[in-house]
Amino acid sequence: MLRIGITGGIGSGKSMVCRLFQVLGAPVYDSDARAKWLMGHDATLRDELTAAFGPTTFDSAGQLDRVYLARVAFADPTQLARLNALVHPAVGRDFALWSAAQAAAGCPYLLKEAALLYESGAYRQLDQVITVFAPLAVRQARVLRRDPHRTPDDILAIIGKQMSEEEKVQRAQHVLHNDDAHLLIPQVVALHAAFSKQIAP
């Protein structure tokens, strides 16, 4: 079974690409969604977060205080690195279990969606990587439509913290052009057909 990563910067259209693959029958692991779930439900990770960021990381009802954690972690690069060092391995463990279940079910390939696929080291668990590419202006326009509370400066700040699109394109085995100039569906269908025929080494 092939394990395929999907990455790309904010506004590139990773989620849309994943939905297309799902329509074609491919299972998709959403790293961001699972990370949020694990932070609230994985006992080991909860203990690690409490030890690292204090007892107020979880409220009296045992719920993760996301506002508090964001205020502490995102204001300090050292604290953010500390948070990532706890969350990324937990996601890696969770993905390994999920991946094994998909293999047991006989899936020819699966997809792992992650914005920080390279930065987190998650690409090491994968056989191939797809980068979803779109020019900066297109990405900004998409995010502003999707998140009207953001400003252009907000988007640039997020982009500035991510690996450059050029490097992601260079490192990936496949590139999907989601730039409003190329048809996206035929690109996805072609990759689906190729992945369905391959066997992981």
Question: Is 5 labelled a binding residue?
Answer: no
Report CA 59 to chain centroid distance, whole Å.
Answer: 27
Question: Is 25 labelled a binding residue?
Answer: no
Question: Is 13 labelled a binding residue?
Answer: yes
Question: Is 31 labelled a binding residue?
Answer: no
Question: Is 54 labelled a binding residue?
Answer: no
DSSP H helical segments within 24-151, as ranges? 31-41, 43-53, 66-73, 77-104, 136-146
Report CA 122 to chain centroid distance, whole Å.
Answer: 9
Local structure of residue 134 (DSSP, 8 states): -
Alpha-carbon distance 89 to 70, whole Å?
19
Question: Is 12 labelled a binding residue?
Answer: yes
Positive or negative: CA dihedral 195, 115, 122, 164: positive
Give the closest residue to 26 by CA, choosing from 200, 193, 174, 201.
193
* 159 Cβ neighbours under 8 A, 6+ residues apart: 9, 10, 136, 139
- Asked if 85 and 119 touch (Cβ cutoff 8 Å), the reply is no
- Asked if 162 and 115 touch (Cβ cutoff 8 Å), the reply is yes
Residue ranges at the known binding site for ATP? 11-16
Residue ranges at the known binding site? 11-16
